[in-house]
Chain A
Amino acid sequence: MNDVFLPDLACLTGLCDETPDTRTFRLRFRDSSKVKDFRFLPGQFIELSVFGHGEAPFCIASSPTRPEALETTVRRTGQLTDALHQLGEGNEVGVRGPFGNGFDVAAAEGKDLLFVAGGIGLPPLRSLIWNVLDERSRFGKVTILYGARTPADLVYKRELDEWGKRSDVEFRVTADSAQPGWSGAVGVVPTLFRKVDLRPKTSLAYVCGPPIMIKIVVQDLVALGFKEEAIISTLERMMQCGIGKCNHCAIGHRYVCRDGPVFNYGQIRELVE
């Protein structure tokens, strides 16, 4: 029987500042067989240990199509994430996982895909976006809509430029409020819906962001003709164990860590607190 709480050791092999308080960490397992064996789906998460500070769940922000670069993007917001942000390249962390159900990539095959992300909600979608772009021919039209409070809060800025330049992706970005030097759109994410060809009948919509943004986006998508089952999100909850035991993330008799974190909107509506 495995010891379910025993983490694997991993080394930080790259850091990238995304915003003043958000950083992407690239990880490599110390055990080379683990590097090879670690398989995951976009939308799954890991329990990341900062030794002496505990562990917490973070979504895998990199794509399974690029297994050599396991990445997670973390905002500094408490004692554990503060300690993680103190670490540098070469420092060691612990990893358990992957956990959770993840996005059903096969079910998206042949469909038009709409990604709608707000602020720090982009990392879990980024895993799926790169999965889709690396296997571009399997999918229909790809539309990515991304917004943040200010231009400075946008993450993965270089990749946003890249998506913007690709002819096989329709990419739009917006900021809730403009800053000097910002030439992009201003307004909340749903204001972008008017500017793109949404195709509600043939699309799957992936929505991730702060709760209020998700609520508004989902309302709009339903009004625009998206079926509840075609609107897919990842839920966030306080979690400890990641394996459905500690009960922190339970909603009714469902567990976000095990039954989720990916749910479609029909399933979310059935979850009773």
Chain B
Amino acid sequence: MALAIEKKAVSGWLERLLKLGEVIAPTRTPTGDVLFSNIRSGRDVAWDLPNPLHPPKEFVLPQTDPLVQIKRNGQHHEVEAIHEGRRRFLVNARSCDVKGIAFLTRMHEMEPADASYLRRSNNLTIISLACATPCPSGFCICTDSGPFLSDSYDVQLTDLDKSYLVEVGSAKGEAAVAEAQGLFRKASEDEVSQRKRLEETAKQHFGDQTCHFASAMRRISTGRVPDILWEKMSDWCLKCGGCNVICPTCYCFSVKDLGRDGVWVRCRLRDSCQYAAFTLEASGHNPRPEKKDRMKRRFFHKVSAQYYTRDGAVGCVGCGRCVQVCLGATHMPAVVAAIRKGSWHE
């Protein structure tokens, strides 16, 4: 059953959630960047901000993720798993990022399950806002991750001008709504049909940015992308790793002990498959020494049928962030299109 909440009542709902845990939303920094960060008051959510360049994966998979506390005590050591999983509410997230976190959660639920990640994701409730207007570089319609969601959300809001339509998709979502029951009412039939119209309209308004995965998947999965094409595409790549940093589904990592003088924290640090050292062995041997090898790897992991079968989705949520950051224009839609066409800027 769909619910609704008047816009002016939303801040009261968020005030209730602030009493239960952290509330995170896109905010504008004094220097103009838009970032996901903690808000202090229910009135601080600016619903019209663009989606931040950095996805909210930080709140389930921090850049530096403390895993184990290590203390030296004479000859001996004490080791203890670090348990962090504050209750958090992520508000005004976009559909693509909801799907991104759902993807990461599936990866970390695979055996052996990753307790450190799951503690955070289990304590994270996402209240997303469906996209009535697709963003300029987004192509979520090609990855089944927007503009509106039919699954994976805890709470999905749709902007109906004076009110929000409220769809609850999980027990965590139910609990978040139950905190302020008096503020919600049953949605009218008119509101429900308005939401459907908005979704249909949104789907008609995607720009030129599309990404047709099917034929690229076929070619990548069967090794039918010519080596020369990988070479030409990777010539444009500056191996900066920016695509990995801002990708909602990238989760490759390395492990390092940070600290000194007998007190360390073993941390998971995000890594990039585009860096040469990602596969460099102690012997000096590197199985992926060339940029083309590493680009091939990135797109195999994201687009191959082998991974699609394992992961249940392509490793892309169509957010368009790689389109925004890639210095060499070797982002997802460009590479997928080149593989379909069999040529790169010719």
Binding site for B on A (CB under 8 A): 1-7, 9, 49, 51-56, 77-78, 81, 90-92, 94, 210-211, 236-238, 240-241, 243-248, 250-253, 272-273
Contact with A along B140-174 (1 / 0, CB 8 A): 00000000000000000000000000000000000
Task: From A5, A55, A237, A247, give the contact of B281 (CB < 8 A).
Answer: A237
Distance to closest chain B CB from A261 (angstroms): 13
In the complex, A172→B67 CA distance in Å? 47
Which label, helix, strand, loop or mixed, suits the secondary structure of the A interface? loop
Give chain B's interface residue range (CB within 8 Å of chain A): 35 or more
> Out of A3, A91, A236, which one reaches B116, CB within 8 Å?
A3
Contact between B79 and A2 (Cβ–Cβ < 8 Å)? no
Interface: B259 (CB within 8 A): yes
Residue in chain B with minimal CB distance to A6: B81
The 4 closest A-B pairs by CB, nearest first: A3-B81, A253-B306, A247-B252, A1-B115
Given known contacts A2-B112, A81-B282, A272-B223, A7 and B297 CB-to-CB distance under 8 angstroms:
no
Inter-subunit contact B252/A248 (CB<8 Å): yes
- A245 to B108 CA separation, bound complex (whole angstroms): 8
Query: Could you say which of A90, A237, A243, A246 has the most chain B C-beta atoms within 10 Å of its C-beta?
Result: A246
Write the chain A residue with the least CB distance to B273.
A247
Q: Provide the bound-state CA to CA distance between A270 and B306, in Å.
A: 13
Q: Which residues of chain A have C-beta atoms less than 8 A from B76's C-beta? A: 9, 92
Asked whether A4 lies within 8 Å of B112 as measured between CB atoms, the reply is yes
Are A238 and B304 also in contact (CB < 8 A) when A5-B67, A52-B264, A53-B257 are? Answer: no
Give the distance in Å from the alpha carbon of A232 to the alpha carbon of B118 in the complex. Answer: 37
Contact A5 B81 (CB under 8 A): yes
A7→B77 CA distance, assembly (Å): 11
Given known pairs A5-B68, A247-B301, A248-B278, the reply for A237 and B287 (CB within 8 Å) is yes
Counting chain B CB atoms within 10 Å of each CB, which of A2, A5, A53, A250 scores highest? A5
Interfacial chain A residues near B113, Cβ < 8 Å: 1, 4
Question: How near does chain A come to B343, taking the closest CB pair, in angstroms?
Answer: 23
Any chain A CB within 8 A of the CB of B123? no
Question: CB-CB < 8 A to B268: which residues of A?
Answer: 5
A–B Cβ pairs within 8 angstroms, 19 of them: A2-B115, A3-B115, A4-B114, A5-B268, A6-B68, A6-B80, A52-B70, A54-B257, A210-B283, A237-B279, A237-B287, A240-B253, A245-B107, A246-B252, A247-B273, A252-B304, A253-B306, A253-B310, A273-B288
Do B75 and A90 touch (CB < 8 A)?
A: yes
Residue of A nearest to B252 (CB): A247
Least CB distance, B312 to chain A, in whole angstroms:
14
A28 to B70, CA, bound (A): 19
Contacts A5-B81, A51-B264, A253-B304 hold; do A241 and B255 have CB atoms under 8 A apart?
Answer: yes
> Which residues on the A side are within 8 Å of B260 (C-beta)?
52
Q: Which residues of B contact A (CB under 8 A)?
A: 67-68, 70, 72, 75-77, 79-81, 107-108, 110, 112-116, 118, 223, 251-257, 259-260, 262, 264, 266, 268, 271, 273, 278-283, 285, 287-288, 293, 296-297, 300-301, 304, 306-307, 310
Query: Which chain B residue shows the least CB distance to A246?
Result: B253
Residue of A nearest to B288 (CB): A273
CA distance A81 to B281 in the complex (A): 13
| CB-CB nearest in chain B for A7 | B79
Report the separation of the CA atoms of residues A53 and B262 in the bound assembly, to the nearest whole angstrom. 11
Q: Determine the distance from Cα of A250 to Cα of B307 in the docked complex, in whole angstroms.
A: 12
Q: Given the interface contacts A52-B257, A52-B259, does A92 sit within 8 Å of B112 by beta carbon? A: no
How near does chain A come to B285, taking the closest CB pair, in angstroms?
6
* A252 lies within 8 A of B306 (CB): yes
Q: Are B79 and A94 in contact (CB under 8 A)?
A: yes
List the B residue with the shortest CB-CB distance to A47.
B255
Which residues of chain A are within 8 angstroms of B280 by Cβ–Cβ distance?
238
- Of B79, B116, B254, B304, which one neighbours A240 at CB under 8 angstroms? B254
Among residues of A, the one whose C-beta sits closest to the C-beta of B277 is: A238
For A241, the chain B residues whose CB sits under 8 A away are 253, 255
